Amino acid sequence: MERSERLGILDLGSNSCRMSLFDTFADTTYRPVYEVKQNVRLAKGLSNDGSLTDESLSRAIYCLNRFVRVGKLYGVTRWLAVATAAVRQADNREYALSLLEHETGVPFRVLTGDEEARYGYLGVINTVALNDALIFDIGGASSELCLVRNRQLLNAISIPYGALNLREMYGALGELEAVERAYAVVTEALADVTWLANACALPLIGLGGTARAMAKLHMGDTGAEWTRLHGYSFPASYTGGKLRELQAMSVNKRRKIKGIAKHRAEIITSGMAILQAVIDHVRPTTIHISRNGIREGLLFEALLAEAQTPVVSSVLAHSVSNLQRQFEVDRNIAAIVTTAALRLFDVMQPDVDLNQEDRMILWTAAQIEGAGTYIHPEHAADHAAYLVQSTYLYGLSNEQWARVGHVVSGKTPDSRCAKLSVLLRLARWLTLELGVPLTDIGWITQPRQLSIAGGADLYAIAPDTADAKVVEDAQRLLGITLHFSQAAS
């Protein structure tokens, strides 16, 4: 299928500027093409007289011109360009917008606070499989909160405080006083948001640089494997202690800590003060990280323009479909193997100690294991496992995606993953190598035996097939044997 368009999305934030390029398709799938970010600190100096400075605008324009040039080289067919709190709050907003369009050739739209919150919600809800949550997005000059119930956006608000403008407002008072003032002003603002009472104890989903930095710091402190940030979670209680620890450090010392970008070292404690105020107000136990926000929200609105609400029905299914398109998985073959794998799972489940989560893992592995052949048919399983761990797939936890990778590769010390991997191999072997229809496969409980119609002919060729060893592995790991019976006439 030909792509519908190559979409270029520019997000001019208060602290950083980002660009993402996507190919979009008529079936609502998409393919990430390119992304880049640069720190521009557009809001720097805004709190002094309420206007964006010429210096800040020059930094933004210099950055945007380079981004737009790259977009043109990539053949962008449509631009979506938005500006957030720094431009929204500026007294010289109209001048800034006119200058941005004149210098870059791209018209920018200023998002209202509610729109900024909504696009953040769309970026999260289409890539995170949580039904109920409070989404927070700590930016440079504002912070957004969204209450989500049953995947629907119930309430949203934007407050005019972010990590950068709070540092500008109170930084001269010294570290301890600056954080205390930032915490106090955000706490006061939250007290006026009555609907936050309905968010108590819900998990938090964090967007933005502060949230990502917190996740990286937690990984470093706990010795966690440096894994994908999207979907990473950590206890909400971690934030307070880490904030106190960073407050006691100089900015130069913070810059040396893995997980804190050099440009964020000065403002990170202000961002964490905002987060701590939110935590103290709604008392969550867990914080989840979303890598996706405004730009992905704009993407999904464009993708699902025909829908009443631009929200996918299944995060996992949509994500798998994207991977299949990106790596040219034969969907007919994937459907055949998946159907066979689930059929085997369902008839054996009572006897092989597997559960419904295992079934979901098996479905996912069967759908995407064919992606490895895009790299090369030789060692395709290893290639597919690499793609599972290295591309951004959504709809499962990071731990579950790790299990999918183990099932696809077949290399795992985990007994449950080993069983699922054998079921996947068995499904592929029966349907693709032996050509056995599902109707010719039966299950005999005592003894635990797969009965395969096909008789002597299949029995004779089975040992010479590429993955004949699966018969031995099925007996060893699942405790089952295969019996080739004569097909009914």
CATH assignment at residue 32: 3.30.420.40
Residue 9 lies in a domain: yes
Question: Which residue type does 336 have?
Answer: I
**In contact, 202 and 186? CB cutoff 8 Å:** no
Q: How many domains does the chain contain in total?
A: 3
Structure tokens at 187: 């706490």
Please list, in sequence order, all residues whose beta carbon lies within 8 angstroms of the beta carbon of residue 76, skipping any fewer than 6 positions away: 6, 7, 8, 21
Indicate the pLDDT class of residue 152, thresholds 50, 70 and 90. Answer: very high
119 and 100: one domain? no
pLDDT tens column, 58-115: 999 999 999 999 999 999 999 999 999 999 999 999 999 999 999 999 999 999 999 9
372 and 325: one domain? yes
CATH code assigned at 120: 3.30.420.150
138 and 190: one domain? yes
pLDDT tens column, 252-307: 999 999 989 888 999 999 999 999 999 999 999 999 999 999 999 999 999 999 88
pLDDT beyond 60 at 231: yes
**In contact, 43 and 162? CB cutoff 8 Å:** yes
Helix (H, G, I), strand (E, B) or coil at 158: strand
The residues pairing with 157 across neighbouring beta strands, listed in sequence order, are: 145
Q: What is the pTM of this model?
A: 0.94
Q: Which domain holds residue 163?
A: 114-294
Dihedral Cα 346, 350, 356, 359, nearest 10 deg: -40
pLDDT beyond 90 at 483: no
pLDDT beyond 90 at 315: yes
287 and 330: one domain? no
427 and 328: one domain? yes
183 and 211: one domain? yes
CA 270/CA 171 separation, integer angstroms: 9
Half-sphere exposure of 59 (CA within 13 A, CB side): 18
Beta strand 441-444 pairing with 78-83: unpaired
| pLDDT more than 90, % of the chain | 85
Residue 221 lies in a domain: yes
Residue 260 lies in a domain: yes
Residue 304 lies in a domain: no
Residue 308 lies in a domain: no
Residue 180, burial from CB neighbour count under 10 angstroms (0-12, 13-18, 19+): middle
143 and 276: one domain? yes
Q: What is the mean pLDDT of residues 336-354?
A: 92
167 and 241: one domain? yes
Spatial CA neighbour of 154 closest among 113, 196, 201, 206: 196
**In contact, 52 and 88? CB cutoff 8 Å:** no
157 and 270: one domain? yes
Q: What is the mean pLDDT of residues 409-425?
A: 95
121 and 88: one domain? no
167 and 261: one domain? yes
Residue finishing a domain among 46, 81, 110 = 110
How far apart, in Å, are the Cα atoms of 281 and each of 159, 208, 431?
A: 15, 20, 56
CA 270/CA 167 separation, integer angstroms: 6
CATH code assigned at 434: 1.10.3210.10
